[in-house]
Amino acid sequence: MAGLVAFCVLRLQVVTDITAFMADVADPKLAALSRGMASSELTRTLVLSVSDERGEPDVAIAGAQALADRLQDRPEVAWLRTGPGELHAEAIHNLYYPRRFYLLADEAAGLQDRLSDDGLRAAARELRRQLGLPTSG
């Protein structure tokens, strides 16, 4: 038993690299892509969305900020970001303005539906959901 314990102490190695579990790929480009995805910053990111049961944004924002303040100085936390981050209005304009007409519906009836109160509410809900995704930053 002592020999087994000594062997484990000397040889045991714990790693968090998931590439060892990925299938071998004959295509080197695909293998490099898989390794890159496995070791990307996104795989080491935890997104925590804080909300208030009553739907009061000020309470949720205060709670999220209090949590961030407590986590900021923890040694386990490499970095912490709160809020949507810096908005790049000029880059957004340059991306969407030339393509603005693609955002319209193909038919007038579809456009009226999308611009109705219900259509705008649905679009706002979808945008909020997408902005809450880990990849939206």
The one-digit pLDDT tens for each residue of the chain (137 residues) are 888 888 777 877 776 666 565 666 677 777 777 777 777 776 767 777 788 788 788 888 888 899 999 998 899 888 888 876 677 788 888 888 888 767 776 676 777 888 889 989 999 999 998 888 877 76
Please report the pLDDT score of residue 16 as a whole number: 65
The answer to whether 115 touches 109, Cβ cutoff 8 Å, is: no
For the CA atoms of the chain, what is the radius of gyration? 24
Give the whole-angstrom CA distance, residue 79 versus residue 69: 12
Picking from 23, 49, 45, the residue whose alpha carbon sits closest to that of residue 34 is: 23
Structure tokens belonging to residue 61: 């924002």
Give the whole-angstrom CA distance, residue 116 versus residue 122: 10
Please report the pLDDT score of residue 53 as a whole number: 80
Structure tokens belonging to residue 97: 């303005």
Please report the pLDDT score of residue 117 as a whole number: 93
Please report the pLDDT score of residue 18 as a whole number: 60
Specify the pTM.
0.39
Structure tokens belonging to residue 127: 């945008």
Structure tokens belonging to residue 74: 């923890």
Please report the pLDDT score of residue 125 as a whole number: 93
Give the whole-angstrom CA distance, residue 18 versus residue 26: 18
